[in-house]
Amino acid sequence: MKVLRRVSQVFASPYTFGAACWWYLLGKRVRAQNRFRAVFSSNIVQAYNDRIANAVCEAQAKLTDEEIAGFRKEIEGWGDKPLISIVMPVYNTDGEQLGAAIESVRHQIYQDWELCIADDCSTVPHVRAILEALAADDKRIKLVFRNQNGHICAASNSALELATGSFVAFMDHDDVLPIHALFHIAKEIVQHPDVDLIYTDEDKIREDGRLDGPHFKPDWNEELFLAQNYLNHLSVYRTSLLRQVGGLREGFEGSQDHDLALRIVAKTSVDRIRHIPRLLYHWRAFRGSGTFSDRALAQAIDARQRAVRDYLATNYPEDRVSIVEGPYGCNRLHRELPDPAPHVTLIIPTRDQHSYLKRCLETIFGKTAYPSFDVLIVDNESAEKETLAFFDDISERHPVSVISVPGEFNYSALNNIAVAQAQGDIVALLNNDVEVISSEWLREMVCYAVLPRIGAVGARLLYANGLVQHAGVILGAGGIANHAFHGYHVTDSGYQARLQLPQYVSAVTGACLVVAKKKYLAVGGLDEQDLKVAYNDVDFCLKLSASGLHNVYTPYATLIHHESISRGKDTSVEKAARLEREGKVMQERWGDEILFDKYYSVNFSNENGCFRFKII
């Protein structure tokens, strides 16, 4: 991980005082100018990732002799070496692929394993011959031959009955493990003996043997996992928990891994779930290596939705939610508002710029389908006649109040004053240059904000040209923090469909932030002493996280953000110095926590938040 060297490509609060210009003045390499054009477009990032994907995968797959020797020496120093049982269901597997899968286990640097194979009544004779020959040569290979075909869940459970290890890894019958896969799994167990679930990153192996398609995963992210099974391979479970939940559930074929992980997660705690950010599993992805999901997609989708319904019913019985098919075959969770819906106060700091404020408010009242809300305008010394007349006009036509807060611009103080006076149990911080384009944005955000486990809720914000301005905030990217997927087109999937899926994030922008008033007040609101302009929203979200809450991004609330129109481009050296000073406050306050984002990956470049691969 690179050490933070500068505060570049500023992520500030909604009013940034022209961050791009500040960086010119500071003599820094100017990245902030890219806030106003899509340099890191999705096409550019995707083309770059495609170009280096094989190199990225090969760099992690190939070890030097010195590295291998070092791993073996490290193993010798472990007093208690965990036995890892590898469960492998087999059915009519290509002989060459089956042999490669088993040999990849036998060639592991870490040798304290057993391979538990259940043949699901294969009809081709070579499968049994290969299995018996390899088992005769290695007593760690255990076999069971089923008398009838029961599909993947039944076969996996038959193999699980053979397991005697304290941990179980699941492996498909035609995939391959790199030689250091079990070493890293065992090391994680040794270092974290209370762990219940371990998962790793994975890539794909093509028909010609080439590695590509790396899937770099976030640390445990419950909201994202409800939408998609991003754990997949390699997943390793504590054996006692596997037996406690009854192994794999028949009837969930096609999404059996998702269902199993959800039921295990329900029995453990977040601190006992570990992610190893290394490519430790090669998944075959070509014709002839099809899974149940390939052959029966509709069944797999139905099974996944049932698995998530069961999980929510068990863990969050108070949640009112329905599940349908969402983008890219993932789940779409429709959460319901409480009855009655909580009242929301929309808080909008402003100074003049009548035309932008008018568009903001007219679209709020003209397009928002929410039963109970009011608007509280925080006027910071507006002087234009048009603006002052508009205050009177809009207050007569809609539930709008205006409070005057004179003095220097202090974004944190303006919002804190307004929240204290807000009528609503829910408050929404909005920039005055936000434009509503869909009716359900507020309902979607409030449905999250009312959940006891949720802190701040952020929306997907777009530039007027349809490119993404904000899709959550990534810590340590481009400096203190940066926006995820900045410059991507709104219709792009984003990396692993993450632009289009709700998920936990470390922070969201204050340009459109919804939170329960009591949660806002409980953490002291925005820091109006040391973070008057920049980073106060990031700091606020980190305080919510520190209190045990999760911040969430939802793409189902989409608005346009014209970005910091009111304050313009303030180019004074004084303001530049304040930005530098507030950046140092964040570094001193949060230290290593803002160097790396657990919902991102060390395998992505930290130059920006665009999910661009780097070779480690």
Please provide the average confidence, as pLDDT, over all residues in the chain. Answer: 89
Residue of 138 and 288 predicted with greater confidence: 138
Element (H, E) at 421: helix 411-421
pLDDT at 12 over 70: no
What single-letter amino acid sits at 540?
Answer: F
Q: In 192-235, where does DSSP find H-type helix?
A: 222-227
> Over the stretch 290-315, which tens digit does the pLDDT of each residue have?
554 555 778 888 999 999 999 999 99
Q: Is 483 helix (H, G, I), strand (E, B) or coil?
A: strand
CA 225 to chain centre: 9
> Over the stretch 423-464, which tens digit does the pLDDT of each residue have?
999 999 999 999 999 999 999 999 999 999 999 999 999 999
What single-letter amino acid sits at 554?
Answer: T
pLDDT at 479: 87
Report the alpha-carbon distance of residue 549 to residue 519 in Å, rounded: 9
pLDDT at 289 over 60: no
Q: What is the pTM of this model?
A: 0.90
Report the alpha-carbon distance of residue 416 to residue 527 in Å, rounded: 9
Distances (CA, A) of 364 to 36, 341, 385, 404, 437: 25, 18, 23, 21, 9
Report the alpha-carbon distance of residue 342 to residue 7 in Å, rounded: 39
pLDDT at 549 over 60: yes
Q: In 192-340, where does DSSP find H-type helix?
A: 222-227, 239-244, 256-265, 292-295, 297-315
> Over the stretch 75-84, which tens digit does the pLDDT of each residue have?
999 999 999 9
pLDDT at 31 over 50: no
- The CA radius of gyration of the chain, in Å to the nearest whole number, is 27
Q: In 123-247, where does DSSP find H-type helix?
A: 125-137, 151-160, 181-191, 222-227, 239-244
**Mean pLDDT on 485-509:** 95
Query: φ, ψ for residue 213 (rounded to 5)?
Result: 60, 45
**Mean pLDDT on 382-403:** 94
Lookup result for tokens 């472990």: 78
pLDDT at 2 over 50: no
pLDDT at 293: 52
Report the alpha-carbon distance of residue 427 to residue 534 in Å, rounded: 20
pLDDT at 20: 28
